[in-house]
């Protein structure tokens, strides 16, 4: 989320936390980054029932001009199993209005195809869904892991056979000389 504000302006926004899983999860929110001490969360922990969502409101403030990056770290945990953590990045641009970059369009990542698309409303709120499956990384290699395993096994067998032949060959020569 990119926010443009004037110095000494306090701004309140929210992130939407979605539980698209079939089980209840406990949510813990923490803050890190440049303005961690200037970002106040209304709630730092809560629970979400299956297929529900909740807005996590926060207030951020700074009196110094500049660009700052702050993260709201969201930890999802269940009673059983491992937890998952995600981070919502907030970029706060504080200027007095004399800056020449006021007409730049902020961007956010689209969940559907990982392309960049402009935000239609710069004051829009950030939303993410932890239940979505990650996009599988495409491999540049066309060789499957089964093929690699077969080639490695064949190579190992050949090395063992050649080693056995080399070890047995000198024994045969020494027997011929003695006879």
pLDDT at 179: 54
Same domain, 161 and 123: no
Same domain, 23 and 54: yes
pLDDT at 28: 92
* Region 8-26 average pLDDT: 89
Rg (CA), the chain: 29
Domain with 83 in it: 2-128
Exposure letters 146-160 (e unless 16+ CB within 10 A, then b): eeeeeeeeeeeeeee
pLDDT at 140: 54
Could you report the per-residue pLDDT of 87-124, keeping only the tens digit for each? 999 998 988 766 444 444 444 433 333 333 333 334 44
Could you report the per-residue pLDDT of 129-139, keeping only the tens digit for each? 445 544 444 55
Residue 67 in any domain: the answer is yes
Could you report the per-residue pLDDT of 44-64, keeping only the tens digit for each? 999 999 899 999 999 998 888
What is the secondary structure of the chain as a DSSP string? -EEEE-TT-EEEEEEEEEE-SSS-EEEEEEEEETTGGGEEES-SEEEE-TTEEEEEEEEEE--S-EEEEEEEEEEEE-SSS--EEEEEEEEEEE--S--TTTTPPPEEE-TTT--EEE-SSTTPPEEE-TTSPPPPPPPS----HHHHHHHHHHHHHHHHHHHHHHHHHHHHHHHHHH-
Residue 58's CB is within 10 A of a number of other CB atoms, namely 21
pLDDT bucket at 142, cuts 50 / 70 / 90: low
pLDDT higher at 90 or 80: 90
Same domain, 119 and 177: no
Same domain, 41 and 96: yes
Same domain, 123 and 153: no
Same domain, 99 and 24: yes
- Token pair in block for residue 41: 């969360």
pTM for the complete prediction? Answer: 0.53
* Domain count across the chain: 2
Residue 32 in any domain: the answer is yes
Same domain, 94 and 155: no
Domain CATH for 110? 2.60.40.10
Cross-sheet strand order for the sheet of 39-41: 39-41, 52-61, 10-19, 126-128
| Alpha carbons 19 and 131: distance in angstroms, whole number | 7
Could you report the per-residue pLDDT of 146-177, keeping only the tens digit for each? 888 899 999 999 999 999 888 887 655 555 56
Q: Please check the confidence at residue 71 and state whether its pLDDT lies above 80.
A: yes
Q: Please check the confidence at residue 33 and state whether its pLDDT lies above 80.
A: yes
Q: Please check the confidence at residue 42 and state whether its pLDDT lies above 90.
A: yes
């Amino acid at each position: 989320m990119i926010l443009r504000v004037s110095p000494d302006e306090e701004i309140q926004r929210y992130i939407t936390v979605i539980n698209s899983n079939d089980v209840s999860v406990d949510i813990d929110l923490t803050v890190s980054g440049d303005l961690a001490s200037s970002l106040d969360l209304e709630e730092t922990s809560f629970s979400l029932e299956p297929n529900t969502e909740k807005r996590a409101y926060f207030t951020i403030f700074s009196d110094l001009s500049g660009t700052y990056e702050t993260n709201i770290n969201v930890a999802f945990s269940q009673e059983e199993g491992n937890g998952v953590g995600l981070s919502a990045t907030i970029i706060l641009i504080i200027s007095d209005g004399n800056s020449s970059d006021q007409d730049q369009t902020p961007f956010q990542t689209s969940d559907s195809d990982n392309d960049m698309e402009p935000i239609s409303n710069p004051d829009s709120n950030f939303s993410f869904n932890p239940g979505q499956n990650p996009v599988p990384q495409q491999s540049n290699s066309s060789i499957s892991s089964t093929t690699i395993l077969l080639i490695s096994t064949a190579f190992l067998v050949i090395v063992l056979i050649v080693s056995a032949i080399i070890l047995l060959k000198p024994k045969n020569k020494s027997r011929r000389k003695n006879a």
